Structure 1
Amino acid sequence: MLTGDQYLQSLRDGRRVFVNGHAVPDVTAEPLLRGPALAAALGYDRHYRPGDDVHGPYFFIPTSVDELRESQERQLHWDFPTISTSASLLMVLTAASRMRAQHPEYAERALAYFEDSKRRDIRIVQGITDAKGNRALSPGKQDDPDLYVRIVDRSADGVVIRGAKMHISSAAVSHDVMVMPTKRMKPGEEDWSIAAAVPLNAPGVRVINASFAPRPDLDPDFYPYSSRHVMTEGLIVFDDVFVPNERVFLAGELEHSATFVHSLGLWERLGSVGSYVRLADTLVGLAQLVAEANGLQKIPHIKDKIAEMITYATLIRAAFEAAMSHATFTPEGWASPDELFTNAAKYHAAAEFSTMVRNLHDIAGGSVLTAPSLRDLQNPETAADLRKYMRTMEGVDADYRMRLFHTIRDFTADSYGGWKHVTVIQAGGGLYAQKVVVTAHFDMENAKALARETAGISASGEVLSGLERLGPHGYDPSGAV
């Protein structure tokens, strides 16, 4: 296993990284990227154990419902590159299981990659979303064929790929990117059916970053959350990148072009839902604290908004638990969360998130945006004014109340809050993607049978009469004896 210092050193590997208009020679020293690197380094140190035959819990394969639940609980305390690594590798294993019968060579490569990643203790991010160009056109009909990552050359040793992947969280501070098709490809689109693990420092790879880190000269009290939890988003360019065969898991096989993204969607959405359980509870806690600080906790409409937020949080938790309790198992004995409950939970969490944030802002009031800096509370010329006018009652002084406002703003209404607002919807695929999976896994035949029973119609469409109309409770649903 690597220590935090060894991990930071491993990032000084010649990778080509850019942010805010300039090249970054060392991501561990760049102010806009250093935060995520240090957070991941702390994760390395937290998990580190000496020895040649040990590995971190993020390389764990659950084989029971209890192990699945325990692994998801552990993720709540991990840095993002570690979470991404766990999801990426579980995705690789799930895809390997689904491909084994038709393509055993790919399945074996995937398993070998899992073991090699565990041995090297690396961090892996997922490369899913292509640039896409004109969304109305398929990959092969774009005016530039590189708008979806594709194979541009093949040899006995491997393939050469070209294109770009977008929205890659923590790309700048990870070791490999797991490239996969963003959707099911059609006949004629074999070159776009590519899945492979690519090192971030491979020749031809460039990472162009967006960062939501606060400027280093600003007061961390003004950014109480994002100053400690910083995310970077990378656009990864593959400029004729050679990928050796042992890192290629799909190279033109259309029947499995969607296997990887579906497998990843399952694990990424489960992890997202687990984090949304905590996120929803946090929103409820902030709403209750600020209501109490403002003296409004007993006002009916405030109580009603908080009750709505509690219901939202509870339904996410219930579906999250159901996804694990109804786990399925691969032929290898690996546990996988239930697709119906996982996707329903993800959809509900994302679809209603804006409403919950609206409730929080409505409860908190305008000071979420207008509360002065805590530095003004230390300034002799302004401190007395703020202590007088920002307090509300005994036990709620200006410092406490202003910290609540700044936390709510930073968490939900500033740069980080805006990033969170979009990613809750888009991470793991947009809302429509969850609807597609939920529809595919819903027991529609049972629902139709119940509807026919209610209507007194047989499976063949005939109208039932007499005893045939008696329902399971021994009475005619129409009311007739």
Structure 2
Amino acid sequence: MAMMTGGEYLASLNDGRRIFADGEEVKDLATHPQFATALDLVAGGYERHHRPGDDARGPYFMIPRSREELKDLLDLLLGWDMVTVTTSQGLLALLTAAARIRPKSEEYARRIEDYFAYCRDNDLRCVQAITDAKGDRMRPPGGQDDPDSYTRIVERRPDGIVVRGAKLHISSAAVSHELVVMPTKKMKPGEEDWAVACAIPVNTPGVKIVNTNYAPRERVADFPVSSRHNMPEGFVILDDVFVPNERVFLAGETEHSATFAHSLGLWERLGGTAHLAEYGDTLVGLAQLVAEANGTERVPHIREKIAEMIIYATLVRAGLEAAIANAEASPEGWYFPSELFTNAAKHYGAAEFSLMVRHLHDIGGGSIVTAPSIADVEHDEVGPFIKKYMAGKDTGDGEYRTRLFHAIRDFTADAYGGWQLVTMIQSGGGLFAQRLVARKHYPMDDAKALALKLAGISKD
């Protein structure tokens, strides 16, 4: 097949999928307000990338074969919608897993490569369904009151498997074509039924997706960020879903169960670090603008906070550059970012993000959450008063400063801002997971050798 246009993408969603939102089943995604912005963004991406010809392929299916190509891909990623970014990262994560399991399972590696080609040739979008419901976190999958708390194989057939469970926090699942299911953690011997990875079309019988969204439904002018950039969050239910063998990438091999999560974590953390670097610069820009509008840009403690924000943004970007500069090649010639620098940079960026937001709120002041709406600014009677009293230093009337406050609120202190605070920590796994991986890949022997040399101690 050739690449899809935006219209063809929208038509492809009318495939019998079962989508739920606001307590009802959604029969037409295109007319439901919760999905309108997301569909516009993804369809717009299809339009921008579309090229005619049966051999045309989207750049989001690039497999980097050098550090330069990896950097090029990452630069492109920041300009894509979330669904396209997720597709690129997820498929590269699958290829990373394929490279790691190939020595033990050539068949699974081949199926993954075939699936990559299928998505590329049909110009499909896919999301990664990894986080299970988990039930009692202190119990293993087999020790749960409900064994479906972790997605599992409930039936094995000659031609495939049947899976049951739920996957949570699956951004943009409802507006994608494919679900890539993988284990949420390492499974142990005896937990073979929960060691499952596979690819499932969204419209497969038994798949149901319940959606939430942080997007505003009205007062769009007061939400300059989230009204233009939002995606539905999917609660994916797998109610005895059949998966044919060619789409099964793991079915009981517990020794490979963590490989998929680690591979996905690597690529999600790289993408998360790239966004943290961009958001860090954005926070600096907002802080400087609001300080200037308030006339406080020369106040010592505000200058210090902005300087700290500058250092934060710069160090996150430096970690991102190091992850690319130290990328490593697989036996197939595919380049993957450095595990050490990716995880260290993502951890630092995520752990300190809330402090940078706090600095911005301290610099901006209470009007971040109390500024009148734009409709009130434009009101014939009270609008002139708002413009008069919201005016700041060298900003003309108060509309400029009011809009700046709304941007800060929407970006950092409202529904979208709350979503960002949680997402920055949780994307690619929580902070603890990043510490574990960074420690695993840190050259500890070299560090110990330096310490021994300093202490004048020889070690055989």
Q: For 1:267 and 1:393, how far apart are their aligned partners in 2? A: 44
2:10 to 8, 16, 37: 8
2:111 counterpart letter in structure 1: R
How far is the alpha carbon of 1:275 from its aligned partner? Answer: 1.1
Q: For 1:372 and 1:282, how far apart are their aligned partners in 2? A: 23
1:73 counterpart letter in structure 2: D
Is 1:372 matched with 2:376?
A: no
Is 1:417 matched with 2:417?
A: yes
Aligned to 1:226: 226
2:100 to 98, 101, 104: 98
User: What's the secondary structure of 1:257's corresponding residue?
Assistant: helix
Aligned to 2:158: 156
Is 1:307 matched with 2:307?
A: yes
Q: Does the CA-based 8 Å contact 1:59-1:86 persist in structure 2? A: yes
Structure 1 or 2, whichever has the larger Rg, is 1
Aligned to 1:464: none
Give the TM-score normalised by the residue count of structure 1: 0.94
Q: Does the CA-based 8 Å contact 2:127-2:178 persist in structure 1? A: yes
How far is the alpha carbon of 1:441 from its aligned partner? Answer: 0.3
Any idea what the Cα deviations from partners look like across 1:129-168, whole Å, max 9, x if unmatched? 0000000000010011000000000111000000000000
How far is the alpha carbon of 1:219 from its aligned partner? Answer: 2.1
How far is the alpha carbon of 1:21 from its aligned partner? Answer: 1.1
Q: Does the CA-based 8 Å contact 2:293-2:394 persist in structure 1? A: no
Q: For 1:59 and 1:397, how far apart are their aligned partners in 2? A: 48
How far is the alpha carbon of 1:112 from its aligned partner? Answer: 0.5
User: What's the secondary structure of 2:35's corresponding residue?
Assistant: helix
Aligned to 2:260: 260
Q: Does the CA-based 8 Å contact 2:292-2:393 persist in structure 1? A: no
User: What's the secondary structure of 2:457's corresponding residue?
Assistant: coil
Is 1:44 matched with 2:46?
A: yes
How far is the alpha carbon of 1:439 from its aligned partner? Answer: 0.4
Any idea what the Cα deviations from partners look like across 1:237-267, whole Å, max 9, x if unmatched? 1000000011100001111101111111111
Aligned to 2:187: 185
Aligned to 2:37: 35
Q: For 2:113 and 2:359, how far apart are their aligned partners in 1? A: 46
Q: Does the CA-based 8 Å contact 1:69-1:324 persist in structure 2? A: yes
Q: For 2:403 and 2:392, how far apart are their aligned partners in 1? A: 14
Q: For 2:89 and 2:393, how far apart are their aligned partners in 1? A: 47
Aligned to 1:467: none
Aligned to 1:108: 110
Aligned to 1:204: 206
How far is the alpha carbon of 1:455 from its aligned partner? Answer: 2.3
User: What's the secondary structure of 2:31's corresponding residue?
Assistant: coil
Q: Does the CA-based 8 Å contact 1:158-1:243 persist in structure 2? A: yes
Aligned to 1:398: 398
Q: Does the CA-based 8 Å contact 1:28-1:38 persist in structure 2? A: no
Aligned to 1:88: 90
How far is the alpha carbon of 1:233 from its aligned partner? Answer: 0.8
Any idea what the Cα deviations from partners look like across 1:48-89, whole Å, max 9, x if unmatched? 001000110110000011100000000000000100000111
How far is the alpha carbon of 1:380 from its aligned partner? Answer: 1.3
Comparing 353-362 with 380-389, greater Cα deviation is found at 380-389
How far is the alpha carbon of 1:127 from its aligned partner? Answer: 0.6
How far is the alpha carbon of 1:100 from its aligned partner? Answer: 1.1
Aligned to 1:130: 132
2:57 to 55, 58, 75: 55
2:209 counterpart letter in structure 1: V
Q: For 1:219 and 1:241, how far apart are their aligned partners in 2? A: 41
1:296 counterpart letter in structure 2: T
> Could you list the runs of 5+ residues in structure 2 that have no partner in the other structure?
none
1:119 counterpart letter in structure 2: D
Aligned to 1:427: 427
Q: Does the CA-based 8 Å contact 1:293-1:396 persist in structure 2? A: no
1:2 counterpart letter in structure 2: M
> Could you list the runs of 5+ residues in structure 1 that have no partner in the other structure?
461-481
1:449 counterpart letter in structure 2: A
Aligned length: 458
Does the C-alpha gap of structure 1 residues 40 and 167 become closer, same or farther in structure 2, counting only changes over 3 Å? Answer: same
How far is the alpha carbon of 1:448 from its aligned partner? Answer: 1.3
Q: Does the CA-based 8 Å contact 2:170-2:235 persist in structure 1? A: yes
Q: For 1:19 and 1:387, how far apart are their aligned partners in 2? A: 39
1:125 counterpart letter in structure 2: V
**Aligned-pair identity (%):** 59
Does the C-alpha gap of structure 1 residues 308 and 396 become closer, same or farther in structure 2, counting only changes over 3 Å? Answer: farther
Mapping for residues 212-361 of structure 1, pairs under 5 Å: 212-215=214-217, 218-361=218-361
1:75 counterpart letter in structure 2: L
Q: For 1:22 and 1:108, how far apart are their aligned partners in 2? A: 40
Give the TM-score normalised by the residue count of structure 2: 0.98
1:21 to 23, 30, 40: 23
Q: For 1:37 and 1:174, how far apart are their aligned partners in 2? A: 10
Q: For 2:293 and 2:261, how far apart are their aligned partners in 1? A: 45
The CA RMSD measured in Å over matched residues stands at 0.8
